Structure 1
Amino acid sequence: MAREAAPSTAAVELAGVRRRYGKGDRAVHALRGIDLSLPHGSFTAVMGPSGSGKSTFLQCAAGLDRPTAGSVRLGGTEITGLGENELTRLRRSRLGFVFQAFNLLPSLTVEQNVLLPLRLAGRRPDRDRAAEVLGQVGLADKGARRPSELSGGQQQRVALARALVTRPDVIFGDEPTGALDTTTAAEVLALLRDAVDRLGATVVMVTHDPVAAAYADQVLFLADGALADRLPRSAPARIAALMKDLTSTTTATAAAGAGAAA
């Protein structure tokens, strides 16, 4: 069973989280000891150069992958040692996900897509709740449509409504605006910001876009599997400058390592 801790002010807690793929000389250390606590009702962006561990961080934090070492707590629940069935139940009932590719089922209506997490969690499909969250994302009149009848931005709004429907502890976003044009991306980011400010949601979003990251309360920067820096809510130019410096440093370090190995 999930091990409940005392009530915590943190929505996401990682302690000494490491993730290694492979063994011996061929081992890849994707995460190298992440210690982190993210409060409820906060919006966190995660950035870093290619190969920095962003995707692995998100997967471990969301219970989609298991750390090699360390512990993860979501809403005060220790999830690291849970079995697959328990993890599946937790993800379906207490977490929301928004992906770059939307991941809507084309054979279902918008309303049915939104209600899917409730069905998968064994809960009664609540059409009033579906109408509520569709209204929150500006799609109150689109419940009977199919995803193919919607624009990309509207489909991502449906995905956000689906993420909100269970009132999750945390919404995890993996490049949620990566497939959208600039204007539509701004609309989706504003909805994520509103979900935090008005609905009390907690959002953790991986992104490569400094403009997207500027919507967050803080930006975490990963490099070589470790937390390299962080910024409080900042303008895109400042985020981009720090990201540029971090990428340059990472590239120089990798080149020096390759030279030494040769």
Structure 2
Amino acid sequence: MKLRSGRRRTADARPDAPDAGPGLAVELRDVRRSYGRGGGAVHALAGIDLALPRGTFTAVMGPSGSGKSTFLQCAAGLDRPTGGSVRLGGTEITGLNENELTVLRRSRLGFVFQAFNLLPSLTVEENVLLPMRLAGRRRDHRRAAEVLARVGLADKARRRPAELSGGQQQRVAVARALITSPDVIFADEPTGALDTGTAAEVLGLLRDAVDRLGATVVMVTHDPAAAAWADSVLFLADGAFADRLERGSAQRIAARMTALPARTAHAGAMAGTAA
């Protein structure tokens, strides 16, 4: 399944942003992930094929147990697939050892989680700069100020996370994900703990990162309203892609989700024809 590039980055994109031109940001080939052995094995991913161009925003949805979390973990190098290959920004990561994967995640990937995952003892600026610090890079305070301004928190750099609202904390997490101009930003239910208005603000920031900075965003979500911000929505069922929708409204996405159980038996066939 290959997705075509969505909205293009504009002329005011940062020069050090990831190239949104030809090339793939995420590529999975026959990725499988099983847990257990023999007759009791659970096949969380059943042969995923996927190619996502740079500069696109992709949402991944599916019912509980469909393989969404496993997909994100394998695609982001947080879990090792049982079979198949994963390439991020042109780098084959499947054979990397744990130290190499750690370096890659710190320097070339960004993460936004539902639980924010900010360190309470650090200031907002220190949290944003943490990926640079962990990667052994010089902490660029000017860059931190730029990304904090982009997410509307220029005046909060010296605050601690506990002094911020939930929405502000998630905006700090988005700034942290942007700080290294990563190849891919992986977002796992980034609005799950937010109210509707605050969720829209955070999703707008991810959309802006794609449109204006040329970032690539892959977001797992259960919320059709959140998925509607994406260029494309992929639907997982029984560990395989069962459907795909381009720039759908929340209503259309919800309708596709409702239809998924009836399509589960055809998931394997749909994965090969949905491109």
- Structure 1 length normalisation: TM-score? 0.92
Give the distance between the partners of 1:247 and 1:221, measured in 2 at CA: 11
- The equivalent of 2:202 in structure 1 is 188
Q: Identical aligned pairs, as a percentage?
A: 80
Unmatched 5+ stretches in structure 1: 1-6, 254-262
Offset, 1:30: 0.2
Confirm or deny: 8 A CA contact 1:8 1:76 kept in the other structure: no
Q: Structure 2 counterpart of 1:83, which letter?
A: N
Give the distance between the partners of 1:81 and 1:61, measured in 2 at CA: 13
Please state whether the residue corresponding to 1:198 is helix, strand or coil.
Answer: helix
Confirm or deny: 8 A CA contact 1:94 1:167 kept in the other structure: yes
Give the distance between the partners of 1:170 and 1:249, measured in 2 at CA: 30
Confirm or deny: 8 A CA contact 1:47 1:222 kept in the other structure: yes
Which of residues 130, 136, 147 in structure 1 aligns to 2:150? 136
- The equivalent of 1:211 in structure 2 is 225
- The equivalent of 1:223 in structure 2 is 237
- The equivalent of 1:154 in structure 2 is 168
Please state whether the residue corresponding to 2:174 is helix, strand or coil.
Answer: helix
Confirm or deny: 8 A CA contact 2:59 2:233 kept in the other structure: yes
Offset, 1:247: 3.5
Give the distance between the partners of 1:248 and 1:96, measured in 2 at CA: 35
- The equivalent of 2:85 in structure 1 is 71
- The equivalent of 1:258 in structure 2 is none
- The equivalent of 2:68 in structure 1 is 54
Moved over 2 A (4+): 247-250
- Structure 2 length normalisation: TM-score? 0.88
Q: Structure 2 counterpart of 1:100, which letter?
A: Q
Confirm or deny: 8 A CA contact 1:169 1:202 kept in the other structure: yes
RMSD: 1.3
Unmatched 5+ stretches in structure 2: 1-20, 267-275
Give the distance between the partners of 2:23 and 2:246, measured in 1 at CA: 19
Number of corresponding residues:
246
1:98-156 CA-partner distances (Å, limit 9, x unpaired): 00000000000000000000000000011001000000100000000000000000000
- The equivalent of 1:23 in structure 2 is 37
Offset, 1:54: 0.2
